[in-house]
C-alpha cells in the first residue's frame, strides 16, 4: 500500500513539470489599489470588496453592501487592468463577485502576404538574392495596408458564498 501512495505522489509531483509557465500569469498582478500600496500583503484585511481576491473567507465579516471598481494603466500605458468587485449580505449568507480584465491594444499584426517579395535590394525585377522566393527577407519592404492593429484581453471571475458560524 505504501508503494502505491508513493507512486501516486511521484506521478502528481512530476505532472507539474509539463505545466505551462505563463498560463494565467496576469493573475499574479492582483487586484486593488489598497493591496498594491501594501505590497500585496492584504490577506488579513477583510473590510474591502477586493478582499474576495485575496481572502475569500472575509465575505463572512461584511456588514453593509460594498462595491469596488478599479482601472489602472500599467507599464507605460501598454496594458489596461480593470477590476470590479461587490459583496452583499442576504439573511445569514454573504455573497461576493469579482471580475478582472487585463488587456492590451494596438498590437501590430502583419498578414503572411504583407510584404513585397523584391529581394534584399527592394527593387523589383533585378533578380537579386531572395527575390520571388515566397519568404520575407530582411530589406524587403512591408505593405503598410497589410498591417492590422488588434487587441488581446484575459478575463477572470470569482463567485463566493460564506456563512459566518460564530461571532469570533
pLDDT (tens digit per residue) in 70-109: 998 888 888 899 999 999 988 888 899 999 999 998 888 8
Range of the domain at 60: 22-107+149-163
pLDDT attached to residue 116:
75
Q: Is residue 4 part of a domain?
A: no
* Reported confidence tier of residue 22, pLDDT bands at 50, 70, 90: low
CA distance 93 to 163: 5
Q: Is residue 140 situated within a structural domain?
A: no
Q: In this predicted model, which residue has the larger pLDDT, 108 or 31? A: 108
138 assigned to some structural domain: no
Kindly state whether residue 36 falls inside one of the protein's structural domains: yes
Between CA 77 and CA 99 the distance in angstroms is 21
81 in a structural domain: yes
* pLDDT at res. 21: 62
Query: CA 16 → CA 11, 55, 122, 163, distances in Å?
Result: 9, 25, 49, 34
Q: Is there a domain that residue 67 lies in? A: yes
In a domain, 142, yes or no: no
| Residue 99 resides in a domain | yes
pLDDT for the residue 52: 81
**19: confidence class by pLDDT, cuts 50, 70, 90:** low
Q: How many folded domains does the chain comprise?
A: 1
As a whole number, mean pLDDT of residues 138-147 equals 81
Amino acid at each position: 500500500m505504501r508503494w502505491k501512495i508513493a507512486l501516486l505522489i511521484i506521478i502528481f509531483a512530476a505532472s507539474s513539470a509539463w505545466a505551462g509557465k505563463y498560463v494565467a500569469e496576469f493573475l499574479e498582478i492582483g487586484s486593488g489599489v489598497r493591496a498594491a500600496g501594501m505590497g500585496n500583503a492584504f490577506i488579513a484585511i477583510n473590510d474591502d470588496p477586493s478582499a474576495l481576491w485575496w481572502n475569500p473567507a472575509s465575505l463572512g465579516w461584511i456588514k453593509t453592501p460594498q462595491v469596488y471598481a478599479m482601472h489602472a494603466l500599467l507599464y507605460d500605458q501598454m496594458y489596461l487592468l480593470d477590476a470590479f468587485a461587490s459583496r452583499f449580505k442576504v439573511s445569514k449568507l454573504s455573497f461576493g463577485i469579482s471580475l478582472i480584465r487585463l488587456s492590451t491594444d494596438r498590437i501590430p499584426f502583419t498578414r503572411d502576404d504583407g510584404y513585397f517579395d523584391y529581394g534584399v535590394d527592394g527593387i523589383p525585377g533585378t533578380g537579386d538574392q531572395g527575390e520571388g522566393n515566397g519568404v520575407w527577407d530582411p530589406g524587403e519592404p512591408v505593405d503598410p495596408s497589410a498591417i492590422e492593429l488588434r487587441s488581446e484581453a484575459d478575463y477572470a471571475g470569482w463567485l463566493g458564498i460564506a456563512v459566518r458560524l460564530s461571532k469570533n
